[in-house]
């Protein structure tokens, strides 16, 4: 008798995926039919796509439910709840628009109150069902969105903070469901400022937000979106921000943030449920986001989360403004939750160099709270340089819902559902992981390329005489006229302490002791003020020679504050345009273009207003495009007259190289030292002996 065939493995029970859609949340719209990115068509477009793709019918259909006031009150003030619930009533007909204008990026109509209460209630509804095990996971298609809404304030298209309300509901109202730890993943392209604030002291909720920050200039443009905000008191370490420095981030950048920040922490945190603040405005084609996550990318990010909290995932819609992009992306996510197997095409793109640096900064900030983040990251990761300003402004992906975007998406959006069982996903996933084994070991030479794009076609005519006439392209004039209206204090600690030497950087030419001339700034006007101070930073002399001063070290300030140190700075009040021109000249970014003596300036500033904002919060900025230059680090030394005091020095990594001997520490040449001494004496800071002692002591002390 033949051996009985082995019993087939029991089929895995199909996951029960809740899908909440309700036309009543389309009632919130602009009062007079004005166009707005956050409009009812968003929900309808997603719903149509899910039905057309046969996905909706595979889910458990759910209807919206109103949130009870007492649940909303766990997050919002009584007065805010009252206003949001009454704003649609007759009594506000005359004042509704005026009230809306008091908020930042908010509109109201007669349907707003109902939609807002349903959005909050709907996320409670699905979260409860997932927590109770009635559903494996769920998607709540809600609007208005929620993550910008604060305790007492509507903002950023958000009226109630739907996800925060649901999280509090699970933690405070339903101990019976056993949810003690919640992970909130906010992948909307904007910072989840409201959610961050609500759980800032609360270790029960790990809040993770990855968003465009752009040095503090991207909406909502509050400094608290930076990676330095990690939570407070018991909540310290339970708030994680991954702040991108620019647009164009896509699948690989997000995957890197997942693999090297979110997932390792999540594994340790071990959440009981995951709520996703699922905005899709980081999607390719979004008119507001300027990023480029593909539907496949979202599917992969979500797949990686499914390994935690027993797959209990609740997705709540936040932003996302390209109808096709959001429909395709939600559809891809729904398929993931339904258990469809994907092929993930290994990403062709490398993460940005800035991505790697941001991830490293985040890990560094959090490593004491999460020791798992203190491991060393792979070193020879292949990275690409940040997008150039013109790439960032390229219209192709900021045009709402245009045909070419549709085409672009068609090539990447088709989610390849293949009927394979078992380990196919994990195998593909491991290919995506950014670790040593799987990454090609080649470093694209980022610096020369970066310099290449910085140094564009801006021609400056160099007359034979010391005073230079300049012609600067329209492109660069745009930033120049902008920055010529902002003043800063430039703090010098080296040869620029001597006025005549400093003026060469402004007016062009050279003075005593200098062997080569400067080309100067476009704006040759004199500083509006001069002032001396001391700062708690170590002065050191390093590097072995310079074209201008010959053999010998030049001055650097250790970027690290050290209260045992006292270094002299001579501050000049100049425009931000002039500051950039000095920075260019210090870093030798101004190039002589051949025999006719034309001078080529970079076409974009290194320090613009968003960088200033960033520096004032973070105290320093390492200028990525000139990372291997000597003075790539701009430090913020405080304020004077309400203007920032800025200086330029080496990055902290160079200090390490000085310490290790990889870079030489060297005393200054005689002419260079004489210039510094002259500066200190003529500036009436020290007498000749005192000045010489100060320089010699700094040179002798080393690090």
What residue ranges bind ligand X5A (CB under 6 A)?
A: 105, 145, 148, 156-158, 188, 190, 219, 279, 281, 318-319
Confirm if 18 and 59 have CB atoms less than 8 A apart: yes
Residue 190 makes contact with Zn ion by CB under 5 A:
yes
If the CB atoms of residues 319 and 542 are measured against ligand X5A, the closer one turns out to be 319
Residue 279 makes contact with Zn ion by CB under 5 A:
yes
Q: How far is the CB of 157 from Zn ion (least distance, A)?
A: 8
User: In whole angstroms, what is the distance from residue 591 CA to residue 456 CA?
Assistant: 10
Picked from ligand X5A, Zn ion, none, the partner binding residue 192 (CB below 5 to 8 A depending on kind) is none
* DSSP alpha helix (H) spans, 8-91: 41-52, 69-72, 78-86
Q: Which stretch binds Zn ion (CB under 5 A): 81-89, 188-196, 253-261, 417-425?
A: 188-196
Residue number of the CB atom closest to ligand X5A: 319
- Among 232, 33, 41, 72, smallest CA distance to 167 is for 72
Residue 214 makes contact with Zn ion by CB under 5 A:
no
If the CB atoms of residues 21 and 280 are measured against ligand X5A, the closer one turns out to be 280
User: In whole angstroms, what is the distance from residue 332 CA to residue 342 CA?
Assistant: 9
The CA-atom distances, in angstroms, between 242 and each of 335, 354, 363, 492, 623 are: 27, 11, 10, 33, 19
Based on its alpha-carbon atoms, the radius of gyration of the chain, rounded to whole angstroms, reads 29
CB atoms closer than 10 angstroms to residue 269? 18
Q: Which stretch binds Zn ion (CB under 5 A): 181-189, 253-261, 366-374, 436-444?
A: 181-189
Question: Torsion angle of alpha carbons 601, 606, 609, 610, nearest 10°?
Answer: 140
Q: Which stretch binds Zn ion (CB under 5 A): 175-183, 246-254, 273-281, 456-464?
A: 273-281
If the CB atoms of residues 49 and 190 are measured against ligand X5A, the closer one turns out to be 190
Picked from ligand X5A, Zn ion, none, the partner binding residue 158 (CB below 5 to 8 A depending on kind) is ligand X5A
Residue 316 Cα to chain centre, angstroms: 22
Q: Which stretch binds Zn ion (CB under 5 A): 111-119, 128-136, 276-284, 600-608?
A: 276-284
If the CB atoms of residues 145 and 247 are measured against ligand X5A, the closer one turns out to be 145
Picked from Zn ion, ligand X5A, none, the partner binding residue 219 (CB below 5 to 8 A depending on kind) is ligand X5A
* DSSP alpha helix (H) spans, 158-211: 162-168, 193-198
Active-site annotation, residues: 148
Q: How far is the CB of 38 from ligand X5A (least distance, A)?
A: 7
Confirm if 86 and 135 have CB atoms less than 8 A apart: no
Q: How far is the CB of 90 from ligand X5A (least distance, A)?
A: 28
Picked from Zn ion, ligand X5A, none, the partner binding residue 156 (CB below 5 to 8 A depending on kind) is ligand X5A
Residue found under tokens 């936040």:
318
Residue 281 makes contact with Zn ion by CB under 5 A:
yes
What would the x/- binding string for Zn ion be over residues 10 to 49, using CB under 5 A?
Answer: ----------------------------------------
* DSSP alpha helix (H) spans, 338-436: 353-366, 389-393, 403-413, 424-432
Q: How far is the CB of 282 from ligand X5A (least distance, A)?
A: 10
Residue 188 makes contact with Zn ion by CB under 5 A:
yes
Question: Torsion angle of alpha carbons 574, 577, 579, 583, nearest 10°?
Answer: -160
Residue 247 makes contact with Zn ion by CB under 5 A:
no
Confirm if 139 and 18 have CB atoms less than 8 A apart: yes
If the CB atoms of residues 105 and 609 are measured against ligand X5A, the closer one turns out to be 105
If the CB atoms of residues 286 and 487 are measured against Zn ion, the closer one turns out to be 286
Confirm if 231 and 277 have CB atoms less than 8 A apart: no
Q: How far is the CB of 328 from ligand X5A (least distance, A)?
A: 18
Confirm if 587 and 548 have CB atoms less than 8 A apart: no
Q: What are phi and psi of 560, to 5 degrees?
A: -75, 135
Q: How far is the CB of 253 from ligand X5A (least distance, A)?
A: 19
| Environment class of 376 (CB within 10 Å of its CB; exposed 0-12, middle 13-18, buried 19+) | exposed
**Binding-site residue total for Zn ion (CB under 5 A)?**
5
User: In whole angstroms, what is the distance from residue 158 CA to residue 150 CA?
Assistant: 9
Q: Which stretch binds Zn ion (CB under 5 A): 197-205, 312-320, 506-514, 589-597?
A: 312-320
Picked from Zn ion, ligand X5A, none, the partner binding residue 105 (CB below 5 to 8 A depending on kind) is ligand X5A
User: In whole angstroms, what is the distance from residue 113 CA to residue 117 CA?
Assistant: 6
Residue 319 makes contact with Zn ion by CB under 5 A:
yes
Pairing of β 554-557 and β 539-542: antiparallel
If the CB atoms of residues 125 and 186 are measured against ligand X5A, the closer one turns out to be 186
Q: How far is the CB of 283 from Zn ion (least distance, A)?
A: 11
- Among 338, 44, 312, smallest CA distance to 185 is for 312
Q: How far is the CB of 127 from Zn ion (least distance, A)?
A: 21
If the CB atoms of residues 319 and 602 are measured against ligand X5A, the closer one turns out to be 319
Residues that bind Zn ion (CB under 5 A): 188, 190, 279, 281, 319
């Amino acid at each position: 008798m033949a051996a009985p065939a082995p019993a087939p493995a029991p089929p895995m029970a199909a996951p029960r995926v809740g899908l909440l859609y309700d036309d009543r949340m389309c009632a919130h719209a602009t009062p007079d039919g004005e166009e707005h990115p956050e409009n009812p068509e968003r929900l309808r477009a997603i719903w149509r796509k899910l039905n057309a793709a046969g996905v909706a019918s595979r889910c458990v259909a759910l209807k919206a439910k109103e949130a009870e006031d007492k649940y909303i009150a766990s997050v919002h003030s009584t007065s805010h709840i009252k206003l949001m619930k009454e704003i649609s009533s007759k009594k506000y007909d005359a004042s509704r628009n005026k009230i809306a204008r008091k908020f930042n990026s908010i509109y109201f109509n007669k349907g707003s109150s109902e939609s807002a209460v349903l959005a909050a209630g709907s996320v409670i509804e699905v979260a409860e069902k997932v927590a109770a095990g009635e559903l494996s996971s769920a998607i709540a298609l809600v609007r208005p969105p929620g993550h910008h809404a604060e305790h007492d304030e509507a903002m950023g298209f958000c009226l109630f903070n739907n996800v925060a309300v649901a999280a509090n509901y699970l933690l405070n109202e339903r101990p019976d469901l056993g949810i003690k730890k919640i992970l909130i993943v906010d992948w909307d392209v904007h910072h989840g400022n409201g959610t961050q604030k609500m759980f800032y002291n609360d270790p029960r909720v790990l809040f993770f937000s990855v968003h465009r920050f752009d040095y503090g200039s991207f909406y909502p443009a509050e400094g608290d979106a930076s990676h330095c905000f990690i939570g407070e008191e018991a909540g310290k370490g339970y708030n994680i921000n991954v702040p991108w420095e620019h647009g164009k981030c896509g699948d690989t950048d997000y995957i890197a943030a997942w693999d090297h920040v979110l997932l390792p922490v999540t594994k340790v945190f071990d959440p009981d449920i995951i709520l996703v603040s699922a905005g899709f405005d980081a999607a390719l084609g979004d008119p507001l986001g300027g990023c480029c996550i593909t539907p496949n990318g979202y599917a992969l990010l979500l797949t990686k989360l499914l390994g935690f909290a027993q797959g209990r995932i609740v997705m709540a819609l936040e932003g996302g403004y390209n109808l096709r992009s959001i429909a395709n992306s939600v559809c891809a996510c729904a398929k993931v939750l339904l258990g469809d197997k994907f092929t993930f095409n290994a990403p062709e793109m490398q993460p940005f160099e800035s991505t790697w640096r941001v991830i490293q900064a985040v890990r560094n900030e959090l490593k004491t709270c999460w020791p798992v983040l203190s491991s060393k990251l792979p070193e020879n990761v292949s990275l690409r340089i940040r997008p150039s300003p013109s790439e960032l402004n390229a219209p192709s992906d900021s045009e709402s819902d245009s045909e070419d975007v549709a085409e672009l998406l068609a090539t990447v959006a088709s989610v390849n559902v293949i009927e394979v069982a078992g380990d196919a996903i994990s195998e593909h996933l491991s290919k995506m992981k950014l670790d040593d084994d799987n990454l090609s070991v080649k470093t694209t030479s980022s610096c020369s390329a970066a310099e290449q794009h910085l140094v564009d076609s801006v021609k400056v005519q160099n007359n034979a005489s010391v005073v230079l006439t300049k012609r600067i392209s329209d492109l660069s004039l745009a930033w120049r006229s902008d920055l010529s209206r902002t003043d800063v204090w430039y703090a010098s600690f080296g040869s620029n302490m001597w006025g005549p030497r400093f003026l060469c950087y402004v007016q062009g030419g050279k003075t005593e002791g200098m062997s080569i001339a400067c080309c100067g700034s476009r704006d040759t006007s004199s500083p509006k003020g001069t002032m001396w101070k001391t700062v708690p930073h170590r002065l050191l002399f390093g590097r072995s020679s310079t074209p201008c001063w010959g053999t010998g070290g030049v001055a650097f300030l250790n970027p690290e504050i050290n209260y045992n140190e006292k270094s002299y700075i001579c501050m000049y009040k100049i425009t931000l345009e002039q500051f950039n021109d000095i920075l260019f000249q210090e870093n030798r970014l101004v190039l002589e273009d051949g025999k006719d003596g034309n001078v080529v300036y970079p076409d974009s500033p290194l320090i613009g207003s968003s960088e200033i904002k960033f520096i004032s919060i973070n105290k320093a900025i390492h200028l990525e495009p000139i990372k291997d230059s000597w003075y790539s680090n701009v430090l913020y030394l405080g304020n004077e007259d309400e203007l920032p005091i800025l200086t330029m020095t080496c990055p902290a990594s160079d200090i390490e190289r000085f310490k290790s001997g990889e870079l030489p520490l060297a005393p200054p040449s005689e002419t260079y030292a004489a210039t510094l001494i002259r500066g200190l004496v003529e500036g009436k800071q020290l007498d000749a002996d005192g000045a010489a002692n100060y320089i010699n002591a700094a040179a002798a002390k080393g690090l």
